[in-house]
Amino acid sequence: MRRSLCIAQPHFCLAGEVSTWSFSYSPSADLPKGAKLKFDLLSKGRPIDWEIPGADPKRKKNLIWGCSSKGKVVYPTEVLLEATYAPSFEFTLPYPIAAGDSFTIFLGTNEKKKEEMKKNGNRSQTVVQRRKPFHLYIDPTGKGGYRDPEVFTVDIRGNLLKNIRIIAPSLVSRNKRFDVIVRFEDECGNLTNHAPPETLIELSYEHLRENLSWKLFVPETGFLSLPNLYFNESGIYKIQLFNPTTKEKFFSSPILCTPEAEKGIYWGLLHGESERFDSYDNIESCLRHFRDEKALHFFASSPFEESEETSNEDWKLIGNQIAEFNEDLRFTTFLGFQFFEGEPSCGLRQFIYCKDSKPLLRKKDLKSNSLKKIYKSHTPKDFLSIPSFTMARGLFCNFQEFEPDFEPVVEIYNAWGCSECTKKEGNLFPIHSENKKGVFEAEEGSVRRALDHNKRFGFVAGGLDDRGTFTGYYESDQVQYTPGLTAIIAIEQTRDALLLALQKRSCYATTGERMILGFFIAGAQMGSELSTSSKPGLAFNRHLTGYIAGSAPLKEVILFRNGKPFQTLSSKESHLEFALDDSEHISSCALSSPDDRPPFLYYYLRVLQSDGHAAWSSPIWVDLAEGEALSLPKKKKKNA
């Protein structure tokens, strides 16, 4: 029995390559005149997907057309179905095609020269994929009764070597060995070995040991593991790789080496979505992407609780994959979801469960239709509740019913903007839209305003999200920034240790770069609460110390006290250490608490790099204990 044949030419391509592609179909039975063929690229219309061609015959570039073996050209019509992101292309045959004959669909340009193909052709997707499918539906009757699709497949491989990414720990101990992963990537971030055969990469770093002279080849896998590196001296390092062929240098994120590192800095996302893999459709690929390609230490799921967004089956699958991927000291996963009550006292929340196999709390259920009911029926040991996107009008949280036991951290930044303060007050990444119908900032949800009212929380950052309440932002005129990252300073990379660190506010937020940030008052790290009752000297002087190691030269470092710039630090280098004193008596600068708690001060750091990336340390609080003098001590008069 004859079988139909589907042949794609070429059968493999490079990610982001521009050319002309052909898909040849030979039917197993005769196709009469008037039969319909519908070609589907299975694209979601994203910039990373296969480029959508045009069907207008007048086009000279990125065109789709069909052709029989006899050379008769047919142009399709675009068909956009519901629940699809990009059109399919429907061909109506003006002539019959005999069994064994062929009908070929072309994407690109009819120019024969390679230069013209690269200029006017069709672009492949920018993500590597084995056996990328294309569907061709056949309707011999021409009445729209399509059968199961015929499938073409094309392998997408990494393109030319463009970048070398070095994945190293942010905090190490002196003379203690650690491993480094080197990823050889193309322009789109895919692993590749597409480099000249003679390419050798030279490894070095500051304070280079004389006996270290390594040269690395570009492996077929596209990545290398470099084991047992160590530093002899304390300090801030960056591993350097030099490509002699192109004269390019590539650096790791900064590495802080201390005499004895009791804790580590772990990077990840508590709220965010992959631009490449939809966590609803393929949670497994999404988790692998964040673990292997993004090299995150932790990740939390964040689907919205509505049944239209997340079915019970989806939630069960997400929970199973989260539990399966959780691996101590390698990749820590958390089961989480997003909840939007609609009340300003609640706003948008990201719930992070402390354990696996927990239910999805739906707003339509009577027991969980409000934040108050959820808190009443649970304890802080069950989950964390993270207010996010707090300054977005229509979604904002005014912190009036703030519960510190459940809400130890707040999302100060995500890819749609920063909630630190208003634009007039110096917000570096304001929530804004170029269209009046977009989302703008709401002062009521300002993080700094909440801190002024003695709401105490640490800072975390979110990534990109285009689901639920964020639907439509991606395609609209809403201003978009880089996805953020959260740094957690913890004893070890386990679920319990990371959650404990978040409860202690031992964390900070960045706009996506792995900056090292340390901030201390009297030796107490970020997130701490101090009091003049245990340290009376804090009433007269607060000794503030810290360090910053950025991925680019520092442009501005501001130490805020009570929401106002207290000290501005500058450095032309990418790293900075500081030590300064706030000698103003606490009684003259403390803020009054709106409740029965004592007056207080709070401090936090904001770092801005020359490349536009930023970071925020979690605050440190100093309380004025009852009975302390409310005025400066009187100075003794000098004897005449």
Q: In 45-187, which ranges are E strands?
A: 63-68, 73-74, 77-79, 88-92, 103-108, 122-123, 129-139, 150-157, 163-167, 171-173, 178-185
Tokens representing residue 309 in the block: 């967004």
Distance CA 494, CA 500 (A): 10
Residue 223 and residue 183 in contact, taking contact as beta carbons nearer than 8 Å: yes
Residue 484 and residue 457 in contact, taking contact as beta carbons nearer than 8 Å: no
Same domain, 139 and 178: no
* Residue 637 confidence (pLDDT): 47
* Residue 634 confidence (pLDDT): 45
pLDDT for residue 633 is more than 50 = no
Distance CA 76, CA 70 (A): 18
Same domain, 299 and 191: no
Q: Determine, yes or no, domain membership for 461.
A: yes
Same domain, 168 and 213: yes
71 confidence band (pLDDT: 50, 70, 90): confident
* Residue 626 confidence (pLDDT): 76
Domain's final residue, options 130, 155, 180: 155
Same domain, 61 and 124: yes
* Residue 59 confidence (pLDDT): 87
**Nearest alpha-carbon partner for 67 in 37, 32, 43, 112:** 37
281 confidence band (pLDDT: 50, 70, 90): confident
Same domain, 100 and 63: yes
**Nearest alpha-carbon partner for 502 in 609, 341, 610, 350:** 350
At 600-632, the pLDDT tens digits run 999 999 999 999 999 999 999 999 987 654 444
* Residue 411 confidence (pLDDT): 98
Distance CA 296, CA 292 (A): 8
Same domain, 240 and 274: no
pLDDT for residue 332 is more than 90 = yes
CATH number, residue 208: 2.60.40.1930
Same domain, 285 and 383: yes
Same domain, 333 and 345: yes
CATH number, residue 422: 3.20.20
Same domain, 33 and 70: yes
* Residue 472 confidence (pLDDT): 86
At 417-427, the pLDDT tens digits run 999 999 999 99
pLDDT for residue 351 is more than 50 = yes
Q: Determine, yes or no, domain membership for 506.
A: no
277 confidence band (pLDDT: 50, 70, 90): confident
Domain's final residue, options 225, 260, 295: 260
Same domain, 203 and 235: yes
The owner of tokens 């967004």 is 309
At 189-246, the pLDDT tens digits run 999 999 998 899 998 876 555 556 789 999 999 999 999 999 989 999 999 999 998 9
pLDDT for residue 100 is more than 70 = yes
Q: Determine, yes or no, domain membership for 525.
A: yes
At 358-410, the pLDDT tens digits run 999 999 999 999 999 999 999 999 999 999 999 999 999 999 999 999 999 99
Tokens representing residue 255 in the block: 């590495």
**Nearest alpha-carbon partner for 539 in 580, 581, 587, 579:** 587
Q: In 275-414, which ranges are E strands?
A: 298-300, 332-334, 336-340, 348-353, 383-388, 409-414
User: Could you tell me the residue range of the domain that residue 180 belongs to?
Assistant: 161-260
Alpha helices in 82-129 (DSSP H): 114-120
* Residue 631 confidence (pLDDT): 45
Please give the average per-residue pLDDT across 126-136, as a whole number. Answer: 95
CA-based R_g, the chain, Å: 29
Q: Determine, yes or no, domain membership for 505.
A: no
Distance CA 307, CA 81 (A): 23
To the nearest whole percent, how much of the chain has pLDDT over 70? Answer: 96
Tokens representing residue 603 in the block: 């401090």
Mapped onto helix, strand or coil, the DSSP state of residue 287 is: helix
* Residue 556 confidence (pLDDT): 96
pLDDT for residue 592 is more than 80 = yes
Q: How many domains would you assign to the chain? A: 4
Tokens representing residue 69 in the block: 């073996």
Q: Determine, yes or no, domain membership for 7.
A: yes
* Residue 155 confidence (pLDDT): 97
Q: Determine, yes or no, domain membership for 507.
A: no
The owner of tokens 């240790």 is 497
117 confidence band (pLDDT: 50, 70, 90): confident
Q: Determine, yes or no, domain membership for 639.
A: no
CATH number, residue 626: 2.60.40.10
Q: Determine, yes or no, domain membership for 256.
A: yes
Same domain, 593 and 618: yes
Can you give the pTM of this predicted structure?
0.92
The neighbour count for residue 341, using CB atoms within 10 Å, is: 17
Same domain, 339 and 395: yes
* Residue 70 confidence (pLDDT): 80
Domain's final residue, options 206, 232, 260: 260
Distance CA 103, CA 97 (A): 8
